[in-house]
Structure 1
Amino acid sequence: MTDVYLIRLESPIGRLELVADGEALTSLSIERAGTLPHDGVAERTCPVLELAAQQLTEYFTGTRTSFDLPVRPTGTAFQQAVWGELARLGWGEATSYGALAAAVGRPGAARAIGGAVGANPLPIIVGCHRVLAGDGRITGYSGGNGIPTKLWLLGHEQIGFAA
């Protein structure tokens, strides 16, 4: 991991691991079963990581409802399009897989949308927790401990969902 910067911070949903290239945030991982992807790697900070840590802390305390960070997620053109739509969602807003599919010009591709949402390298900052089934149900979450993590994030933003 040369030219990679990394820090970890505590949060209400478990430890977070933030990775940057020195200019932009490239990934955010939520602890799963007590581990993070780069647990064995020493922390090495940079200004963008310090800013991200500050903004995430403010988000978790409820004093921040949007992020103003340089980000550089890596993915296919399709994934980038889906993540771009997710980034448009604000605090407390939700969408469906079908609505995302329509927004990126792929109506009927809700399953592919689900794959792109699940591959989001910047959860919380690019709010993939805000995606629900067409009937408002929670269908899954790949970050942290899965659905319990998503439930916490939805509750934090006061986003309603169907049981």
Structure 2
Amino acid sequence: MNTQHHILQRRIATPLGPLTAARSAAGLSGLWFDGQKHHPGPLAVPEDDGSDAVLAATEAALTAYFSGKPFALPPLDPAGTAFQREVWQALLAITPGQPSTYGALAERLGRASAARALGAAVGRNPISVLVPCHRVVGADGSLTGYAGGLDRKKALLNLESAPA
């Protein structure tokens, strides 16, 4: 991953473990749990002093999310191919509490034959939780791979299906 895209970072505590949030000049560019697959490792960019609006909005969104409250997304700027960005954008349309399958997501994008490539793009999502790749499940409803770990995927899906 091109870490040159990131210009600032902030650590954010969550009930499922700390996240590293990174921003680019245009918006939130990364959000990773410690030890997550595809985590870029230590970022060679400054730590936020608490004054950055995008990272503050990210932390506020996560706080609301984990409290079961509505939230506004910060501006998003994930680095990826055009296909990856198309898939990540489609993830935002999956309703909380109503997971989608890889096949259904591929059909929704008009790429029914690209379910495998779509799955790879879902797995490379650099913005955990807020771009909800955890809402994609296997055709039989099984919890398939999640870069942050299946225990976290299950916890996120349980949180979203809990009555408010």
TM-score range, shorter chain: 0.7 to 0.9
TM-score scaled by length of structure 1: 0.85
Instruction: State the 1:21 CA deviation.
Output: 1.8
Tell me the equivalent position of 1:59.
Answer: 65
Report the RMSD for the aligned CA atoms in angstroms: 2.3
1:14 equivalent in alignment to 2:17: yes
- Aligned equivalents of 2:55 and 2:136: distance in 1? 26
Paired residues for 1:23-62 under 5 Å: 23-32=26-35, 37-38=41-42, 42-45=46-49, 46-62=52-68
Equivalent residue pairs, number:
155
The list of structure 1 runs, each at least 4 consecutive aligned residues, that deviate by more than 6 angstroms after superposition, is none
After superposition, give the CA deviation of every residue in 1:11-66 in whole Å (9 maximum; x if it has no partner).
11110010012441111011128x982278651251110111111111112223x4
Q: List gaps (5 residues or longer) in structure 2.
A: none
Q: List gaps (5 residues or longer) in structure 1.
A: none
Paired residues for 1:73-152 under 5 Å: 73-143=78-148, 146-152=149-155
Instruction: State the 1:5 CA deviation.
Output: 1.0
- Aligned equivalents of 1:36 and 1:110: distance in 2? 25
After superposition, give the CA deviation of every residue in 1:75-99 in whole Å (9 maximum; x if it has no partner).
1111111111101123222110001
Contact 2:8 2:46 in 1 (8 A): no
Q: Percent identity?
A: 38
